Amino acid sequence: MNIVVFDTETTNLEKPFCYNIGYVIFDTDNDQIVLRREFVVEQVWHNPMLFTTAYYADKRELYISRMKGRKITMDKFGYVCQQMIRDFQAYEIKFAYAYNSGFDEKVFEWNCDWFKCNNPFDNIEILDIRGLVHQKVAFTKAFQDFCEREKRFTESGNYSTTVETLFQFVAGDNNFQEEHTALADSEIECEILRYCVDLGCEYGKKYKTYQSIKRDIDKVLTIEQVDKDGNKQVDEIIYKSRRNYKDESGQICRIVLKSE
Residue ranges per domain, the chain? 2-134+181-198, 218-259
The pLDDT value recorded for residue 237 is 61
Mean of pLDDT values over 69-83: 96
Pairing of strands 32-41, 18-27: antiparallel
The three-state (H, E, C) secondary structure of 52-79, written as one string:
CCCCCHHHHHHHHHHHHCCCCEEECHHH
Q: What is the CATH number of domain 2-134+181-198?
A: 3.30.420.10
CA–CA separation, 96 vs 2, rounded Å?
Answer: 9
Residue 258 has pLDDT above 60, yes or no: no
Residue 139: DSSP 8-state? T
Contact assessment for residue 124 and residue 87, using Cβ atoms and an 8 Å cutoff: no
Say if pTM beats, i.e. exceeds, 0.75.
yes
If pLDDT is split at 50, 70 and 90, which confidence band does 243 have? very low
CA–CA separation, 221 vs 218, rounded Å?
Answer: 10
Give 112's contacts (C-beta < 8 A, 6+ positions apart): 81, 118, 119
Calculate the CA 22 to chain-centre distance: 15
Indicate the residue type of 130.
R
CA–CA separation, 247 vs 39, rounded Å?
Answer: 56
Neighbours of 203 (CB within 10 A): 17
Could you tell me which of 59, 52, 2, 58 has the C-alpha nearest to residue 28?
A: 2
Task: Give the neighbor-by-neighbor strand order of the sheet with 218-226.
Answer: 232-240, 218-226, 252-259
The pLDDT value recorded for residue 53 is 77
Residue 23: DSSP 8-state? E
Any bridge partners for residue 226, and if so which? 232, 252
Indicate the residue type of 107.
V
* pLDDT, tens digit (0-9, with 9 covering 90-100), for 30-75: 999 999 999 999 999 999 878 887 877 888 889 999 999 999 999 9
Maximum average pLDDT range among 46-50, 97-101, 157-161, 226-230: 97-101
Neighbours of 201 (CB within 10 A): 19
* pLDDT, tens digit (0-9, with 9 covering 90-100), for 155-204: 988 999 999 999 999 999 999 999 999 999 999 999 999 999 999 999 99
Mean of pLDDT values over 207-215: 92
